[in-house]
Structure 1
Amino acid sequence: MNGRMIYLIGPSGSGKDSLLDSARDALAAQGCRIARRVITRSADAQGEAAEVVDPDTFARLEAEGAFAMNWYANGLSYGIPRVVDEWLSAGDDVLVNGSRGYLPEARRRYPHMLAVLLTVDHHVLRQRLHARSRESAEEIEARLARNAGFAETLMTGESDDLCLLDNSGSLAQTRERLLKLIAEHRLPD
């Protein structure tokens, strides 16, 4: 593959979707495509502009080999369409909104991948999760506890190639740091 997989991960509420929306045009100008995920989330749910399918359709797509990567988290199924491999082969970089739990498998599949962990201050994250109004206070606290466990595991595990990107401040600053990070880690021609 001539392009590079850029695997963006971070806790729910860290601002991954907002960052991707904000950086979309600038990434395209750099030859980087953003993959649209397939998710078994309700079409009424707020969040990213994903392709929403029911669980039976997702299972059929998975059985047909429609996904380059897929995982299950928080009661939902997520898939990255196989077209990303064509984009990579054509020399485009591809940015995906990934899963922290799927990171080891993604690294095996794309060994030259750039993994980017979007971080956010714990108190800012709590405020963002409450502002979304998707979960109860108890669910938010459980999510924050899981996030702390994930962060500890990622930071003590195989994190030598994990780039940290703080999104506790302005979205514009984070977008510029993301673009710089991708440019600095571009694969040699």
Structure 2
Amino acid sequence: MDGRLIYLMGPSGSGKDSLIEAARTPLQSIDCEVVRRVITRSAESVGEDAIGVSHEAFERRRQAGEFALSWNANGLDYGIPIQIDHWLKEGRQVLVNGSRGHLAEALQRYPTLLPVLLTVKEEVLRERLLRRNRESLAQIEERLRRNALFTASDSVGDVQIYRLDNSGKLAITVQNLLKLIAFSVEPDRT
């Protein structure tokens, strides 16, 4: 039996990287692989535990078929290594840090994926983005506007998007993620 892809999404500043790091050991204990993305930014960038490559190296990898999924967002290229297909075939669950804008394409390749949207109250998100000091005020407001548009939907087609609020304590969000994975019922999509 094939495993299941858990597709974690959320706006910049929602705490995806913190959640993934905090949940890493408990996820591994339930035979769930946590994937490191390949990103076209330096490995020294603060935040996600990712593999940083140049745009040229990323394109070479993409052309060589090294990515199961890839996309461009906010001027960066993101790739999910093809190794996830092997883990899924082995029956393992696999957690990826995905893109909200790429969800429809991911569903085409992995129709049984579990889409999980990490949400955070707007005022908490604004404060986190300001604290990071990576973007201008105008860029932060644009991110907040885009986030409001995306979070208005509870589904993509007939696929429900599961929501996790990360406005409070991270430990509670970790517990809720583990419960969601353990108790998610595979919908019949035939």
- TM-score scaled to structure 2, two decimals? 0.94
Residue aligning to 1:85: 85
**Is the partner of 1:181 in helix, strand or coil?**
helix
Structure 2 stretches lacking a partner, 5+ long: none
Contact 2:70/2:79 (8 A) holds in 1: yes
TM-superposed CA distance for 1:160, in Å, is 4.4
- Matches of 1:63 and 1:157, distance apart in 2: 29
What RMSD over aligned residues (CA atoms) do the two structures have, in Å? 1.6
**Closer, same or farther in 2 for the Cα pair 1:160/1:105, shift >3 Å?**
closer
Pick closer, same or farther for the CA change 1:14–1:36 going to 2, 3 Å. same
Are 1:39 and 2:39 matched, yes or no?
A: yes
- Following superposition, the deviation at residue 85 of structure 1 comes to 0.3
**Partners of 2:104 and 2:155 in 1: CA distance:** 14
Distance 1:8 1:186 in 2: 17
When residues 143 and 159 of structure 1 are mapped into structure 2, their CA distance, relative to the original with a 3 A threshold, is farther
Equivalent residue number for residue 171 of structure 1? 170
Measure the CA separation in 1 of the matches of 2:149 and 2:185. 30
Tell me how far apart the structure 1 counterparts of residues 155 and 16 of structure 2 sit (CA, whole Å): 23
Partner in structure 2 of residue 16 of structure 1: 16
Q: Deviations over 1:146-189 (max 9, x none)?
A: 1112222x33653642111111110000000000000001659x
Q: Secondary structure of 2:18's match?
A: helix
SS of equivalent to 1:173:
helix
Residue 43 of structure 1: how far off its partner (Å): 2.8
SS at match of 2:175: helix
Cross-structure match for 1:129 = 129
- In the TM superposition, residue 31 of structure 1 has moved relative to its aligned partner by 0.7
Please, which runs of 5 or more residues in structure 1 have no aligned partner? none
Number of aligned residues: 187
Percentage identity across paired residues of the two chains? 55
Aligned partner of 1:33: which letter? Answer: E
Q: Distance in 1 between matches of 2:177 and 2:155?
A: 23
- CA–CA distance in structure 2, aligned partners of residues 43 and 134 of structure 1: 16
One-letter amino acid matched to 2:166: N
- The structure-2 alpha-carbon separation of the partners of 1:162 and 1:156, relative to structure 1 and needing over 3 Å to count, comes to closer
1:54 equivalent in structure 2? 54
Q: What TM-score comes out, normalization by structure 1 length?
A: 0.94
Q: Write the distance in 2 (CA, Å) between the matches of 1:157 and 1:87.
A: 25
* Alignment check: 8 A CA contact 1:4 1:187 kept: no
AA matched with 2:175: E
| Deviant stretches of 4+, over 6 Å | none
